[in-house]
Amino acid sequence: MNLLGNAVFWGITVMLCLATLRMNVVISLLAGAIAAGFCAGFSISETLFIFNGGLRSGAAIAVSYSLLGAFACALAHSGLAARLLGSMLHFLDGNAGQSNFRRRSGLLLLLLAIALLSKSFLPVHVAFIPILLPPLLAPMARIGLDRRAVACTLAFGLVASYLILPIGFGHIFLREILQENLRSNGLSVSLGTILGALAIPFFGMGLGLLVAVFLSYGRPRSYGMGKILQLPLQQHPAPGRRQFFSACIALAVAATVQLGLGNSMVTGMLAGMLVFWISGAISSEKIDGIVGEGIRMMAVIGIIMVTASGFAAVLKASGGIEQLVALMVRSVHGSRSMAALLMLAIGFLISVGIGSSFATVPIVAALYVPFCAAVGFSPAATVVLVAMAAVPGDPASPASSSTLGPTSGLSADGQFNHMVDCVIPSFLHNSLPAIFFAWIAAMIL
């Protein structure tokens, strides 16, 4: 079996080609699933049956993203988001004496910090983006900030937060998924070894972000101000003392419950919403409207993520993943450098198709850990190859929250394309440096 006869290869190729040609991502995923099923010898009815089975497994994702949206909207209505947004607008509009370059750099640094916190200490994930970014589009246009730089910054922050911070989503990825899957496949390593090994590809991603911000997209870019000013932006009042403290307590409770109960995003968001309701910061009359607003805000992302679960189910059932690994084994001829490169490339292909590095690690770990031992990779190098076979696909997948999130805020006025302005720039500046430095790490560790 060669690459051109592989179902996973054709499924992902069809999906990416259609998405790049500006076809709706949901339709692209469905078409890719049918192409993969056809290549695997499935009938259309069999493919759709497997696809629908995968949709059921993605129901928890939809519920989680709905609650994330509801909690983020509750924070907005409490006025906490207004205070943060006001500080950011003051930084942009109140420092007219500073150069636009300094204001662009400062805003990107703030957004990076928020993205890092959103998946670690403040568990709101990407739900903050459609609330904070649309009001910032006008001042961003006035200072000439290229939105592709914003997309790369947010994607980096959303991925780096679980790559190096062992809290929140990082605890889930590093301990419960990566460390546990390595252990279950015969490789026991400490968290310190994992963090030390992943520091090298993290450094590479950081260099890629600097290139994106200061070189590739560092020049001023113009956007139509008329379209931005037509946006129906919802204004939230500045918080009173009661609402402010309620919001702070809700954030603390949500984070504590999420971390204390097995990193359950659903229970954390539920606890935070209950704090808002019990404290009276949000009245019973408004709670339904806020939850509905949050669900609508995150609906597109949730639907795409659920559809990606169906797509992933077809890829797994096709047997193409195992065929790719077998092809890799036949191709390396005992070369460690070639083995590392192929493992990273195949894992990247799988992760782009699935749309989640979290779901990719269990797939590749079972195949890669024994193969790394046979080829002669050290435990630290094996950690890098398993983790970084999955992580670079996250900021390069059209169906990943790391790209869907930035698009949800930056495309509010229709002047931002998901593939051209988000996925491809993120692939070039986040994914490629991560793969290259992961290959270096596998060679020297």
Which two structure tokens, joined as six digits, stand for 76?
């907005």
Which two structure tokens, joined as six digits, stand for 377?
């990779």
Query: Please, what's the b/e burial string for 184-200 (b: 16 or more CB within 10 A of its CB; e: otherwise)?
Result: ebebebeeebbbebbeb
Any domain includes 241: yes
Contact predicate 413/227, CB 8 Å:
yes
Average pLDDT of the residues of the chain = 80
> What confidence score (pLDDT) does residue 350 get?
79
The rounded distance, in Å, linking the Cα atoms of 60 and 296 is 17
The rounded distance, in Å, linking the Cα atoms of 120 and 390 is 19
Structural domain boundaries enclosing 257? 60-164+236-303
Contact predicate 324/100, CB 8 Å:
no
- pLDDT per position as a tens digit, 222-252: 888 888 887 766 555 555 666 777 777 877 7
Any domain includes 264: yes
Band the pLDDT of 383: cuts 50, 70, 90: very high
> What confidence score (pLDDT) does residue 300 get?
67
Any domain includes 283: yes
Is the pLDDT confidence value at 357 over 70?
yes
Band the pLDDT of 59: cuts 50, 70, 90: low
Residue of higher predicted confidence among 54 and 30: 30
Q: Rounded to an integer, what is the distance from CA 373 to the centroid of its chain?
A: 30
Any domain includes 12: no
Query: How many structural domains does the chain have?
Result: 1
- pLDDT per position as a tens digit, 281-338: 676 777 777 777 777 766 666 777 677 778 778 887 888 877 777 777 677 766 788 8
Q: Rounded to an integer, what is the distance from CA 148 to the centroid of its chain?
A: 16
Contact predicate 74/239, CB 8 Å:
no
Is the pLDDT confidence value at 256 over 80?
no
Our separate counts of H helices and E strands in the chain read 22, 0
Residue of higher predicted confidence among 263 and 291: 291
The rounded distance, in Å, linking the Cα atoms of 120 and 81 is 18
Is the pLDDT confidence value at 389 over 80?
yes
> What confidence score (pLDDT) does residue 352 get?
82
- pLDDT per position as a tens digit, 161-197: 888 888 767 777 888 778 887 887 778 888 889 999 9
Band the pLDDT of 95: cuts 50, 70, 90: low
